Amino acid sequence: MAKPALGRGLGALLGSSPVLSQPTPSPGRPSSATQPDASSPSDAVASGEGLRRVPLAQIRPCPLQPRKDFPPESLQELADSIREQGIVQPLIVRERDGHFELIAGERRWRAAQLLQMTEVPVLVRVADDRTVLELALIENLQRENLNPIEEAQGYAQLVGQFQFTQEAVAARVGRSRAVVANALRLLKLPAVVQDYVRDGRLSVGHAKVILGLATEQAQRAAATRVLQEGLNVRQTEQWVAQRQARESRAAGPAQSPAAAPPDPHVARLENRLRERLGTKVRLRYHRGRGALEVQFFSDAELERILQLLGLPPE
């Protein structure tokens, strides 16, 4: 299935400027990519936005970059490709305090450092912090470079630092609101479980099921069990349902005598509701009767849930 277009996409980064291609240098002939350049950020911006060749030493990483993990093996592969083909797509930068700050292309910048290149092609843009974060997210999402936790942290930064609603985040990056909401929920996991998701030991499907447990201790225990026993998502659902049933029985009088312990089918449906509504959901079911509890934490979130249920404000 084709991926949907993401927000303004890379066109927003590149504008109408063509991509700068760097040919492979001939043997014995120095590449222009390794020649020093006396240009400065002020010189580059003075002539307007556009393609430039600038010293690698004048470029700095951006603290707003959502991607934090750069596996050495992947960087080496990119460096080998650049050695053969050059940097086919320029880095995107902005002027910042006497140097250039990356908007997009940190992997290319790091690979160029491995090759000890002295200059690289860049596209100079004018952008504020919010735009930089948006464009960095868009580029990484289009290239599928972000792990689930990095993606969630990028969304959280747009919500927390720039006061975006979840709907606005979804619109900007070309995702559905439910995708954004479910990504943000991953940040409620204990740090150690987030690390398992970050490095791929746990899938997002596993994480969503584990989020159904009420305490961090239970969530850590579930993650450990999944890793030790190699449980798939369906098996994890069953294990979580069994744990919830034991906890319900241990609660004693707090549990209604007529209520049945949760079973895997109820747990699965509860998880689907949680994903659809993007918030904490509790489903009580016994012989065709029960209750559905949907939690919200602000008026805006209540309004969003009502809209999902087909009840827009009057």
The matching CATH number, chosen from 3.90.1530.10, 3.20.20.10, 3.30.465.10, 3.40.50.970, for 9-23+31-136 is 3.90.1530.10
Question: Would residue 106 show up in a list of annotated catalytic residues for this protein?
Answer: yes
Cβ neighbours around 187 below 10 Å, total:
13
pLDDT in tens, 216-274: 999 999 999 999 999 999 899 888 888 877 777 766 554 444 444 556 777 778 777 87
The domain defined by 147-251+260-308 folds into Arc Repressor Mutant, subunit A (1.10.10)
The tens digit of pLDDT for each residue in 278-290 reads 777 888 777 777 8
Task: Identify the DSSP state of 298.
Answer: S
Q: Who wins on pLDDT, 257 or 159?
A: 159
Q: Do domains 9-23+31-136 and 147-251+260-308 have the same CATH topology?
A: no
Question: For residue range 9-32, what is the model confidence (pLDDT) as tens digits?
Answer: 434 444 434 334 343 343 443 343
Residue with the two structure tokens 């592969």: 77
DSSP per position, 165-213:
-HHHHHHHHT--HHHHHHHHHGGGS-HHHHHHHHTTSS-HHHHHHHTTS
> Which among 50, 124, 110, 127 is positioned nearest to 76, based on CA atoms?
110
Q: Which position among 49, 101, 106, 247 bears the catalytic label?
A: 106
List the beta bridge partners of residue 122: 52, 91
Sequence spans of domains, the chain: 9-23+31-136, 147-251+260-308
